[in-house]
Amino acid sequence: MARKRFDDSNCSVARALNEVGDWWSLLIVLHAMHGTRRFVDFQHELGIAKNILCNRLGRLVEHQVLHKVDVGEHGSRFEYRLTEKGRDLFPVVIALRQWGDKWSPAPEPSPLDLRDRASGRPIQPVQVRDAEGNPVTIRDVFVPE
Amino acid sequence: MARKRFDDSNCSVARALNEVGDWWSLLIVLHAMHGTRRFVDFQHELGIAKNILCNRLGRLVEHQVLHKVDVGEHGSRFEYRLTEKGRDLFPVVIALRQWGDKWSPAPEPSPLDLRDRASGRPIQPVQVRDAEGNPVTIRDVFVPE
DNA sequence: CTAATCTGGTTTCGTTACGCAACCTTATTC
DNA sequence: GAATAAGGTTGCGTAACGAAACCAGATTAG
């Protein structure tokens, strides 16, 4: 039977994964964050098959993570740009990047270090914080009933 | 041909997705964070086929996100527990949850609100911060050369 | 003006993975 | 000693993935 979908799950993580939880979608979003906008550029940068890319871009547009803009006046030239919803995946992507850097030894020792444009200093590791701003771990949280 | 893998990508996001970037793995990690440890419990909570669960647990153990503990003295009873690497996915899961809560309207209006055990107050949205602790967006960062 | 090229796809087709159900093996319980 | 439970494995049908071919409209080259 079909791959299981989670559109209607009451778990927001499942719903999120339903939209960006496959192998390619988050990578597309990542490259879009780095400035990629065009079909061919995604294709070359990611090394993805055209039909799959087409499908993924379509799904991301459908879910309003990207929107498709007709540039070039009369068709045949488009750009895929992040929506606010898409840009809002920034913490997810960064958290994932930091996790990968920390736990998966890089073949080339070049953990892409992102820096703040204003200060020029590296950004902080993404952390979950309580109301006072103190970092919390999984052991520190609970679900009230 | 086979699904593309990213084991040796020099992109840490791709490497991370290679380990936890499929439909089930992060959900398994999520449930593990909520205390699930046993095969049958994962199976029932997730509604996942046994062979797929078997495969995913195996991969997660292989990637050292979980470790398999033999409880019950002489086999036939195991627990899958998060390693430090696995627990370190906490910010990723939370960021994803918050994104899902914010952008994917829940069928049932019950966004699971996580609270800090000490203060009892809700946790903050996960944010990326610069060295001074100020929130930054995708537009505020760059990669030095 | 025509041919070549670029862009953004769709189609075809073989391979792989997913998902269900059935079966299996080793404890434990009755 | 039979029944049940835990943790898997196996088979099989279907859906998704991936490469390459094909296509159509717009642009550029000659």
Residues of B in contact with A104 (CB under 8 A): 12, 15-16, 18-19
Give the pLDDT score at B107. 65
Give the pLDDT score at A144. 77
Chain A window 60-79: residues with CB closer than 7 Å to nucleic chain C are: 68, 76-79
Q: Which amino acid is at A144?
A: P
Which residue, A2, A136, A16, A86, is CA-closest to B26? A16
> From B113, which residue of chain A is nearest by alpha-carbon distance?
A143
pLDDT tens figures, B70-108: 887 665 689 999 999 999 999 999 999 999 999 987 766
Q: Distance from B140 to chain A by nearest Cα, in Å?
A: 5
CB contact (8 A) between residue A123 and residue B128? yes
pLDDT tens figures, B110-121: 667 789 999 989
CA A74 to the chain's CA centroid: 30
Q: Which amino acid is at B36?
A: T
Question: If DSSP codes are grouped into helix, strand and coil, which group holds residue B93?
Answer: helix
Does the C-beta of B12 come within 7 A of strand D?
Answer: no
Give the pLDDT score at B89. 96
Residue A39 predicted with pLDDT over 90: yes
Which protein residue lies nearest to nucleotide C11, measured between its Cα and the C1' atom?
Answer: A51
More confident call, A34 vs B22:
A34
Which residue, A54, A126, A95, is CA-closest to B17? A95
Give the pLDDT score at A6. 59
CB contact (8 A) between residue A122 and residue B131? yes
Between A55-59, B7-11, B34-38, B111-115, the lowest mean confidence (pLDDT) is in B7-11
Does the C-beta of B10 come within 7 A of strand C?
Answer: no
Please give the full DSSP string across A7-29, using - where no structure is assigned: TT-S-HHHHHHHHH-STTHHHHH
Q: Confidence class of residue A130 from pLDDT cuts 50, 70 and 90? A: very high
Residues of A in contact with B14 (CB under 8 A): 27, 100
Residue A76 predicted with pLDDT over 80: no
Please give the full DSSP string across A30-76, using - where no structure is assigned: HHHHTT--SHHHHHHHHT--HHHHHHHHHHHHHTTSEEEEE-SSSSS
Give the pLDDT score at A90. 96
Return phi, psi of residue A71, to 5°. -105, 155
pLDDT tens figures, A102-113: 998 776 666 677
Residue B30 predicted with pLDDT over 70: yes
Q: Are B121 and B115 in contact (CB under 8 A)?
A: yes
pLDDT tens figures, A3-19: 556 555 678 898 899 89
Chain B window 43-82: residues with CB closer than 7 Å to nucleic chain D are: 50-51, 54, 57-58, 68, 76-79
Domains and CATH numbers, chain A: 12-140 (1.10.10.10)
Residues of chain B with pLDDT > 70, as a percent, come to 85
DSSP3 helix / strand / coil % (chain B, rounded to 5): 40, 10, 45
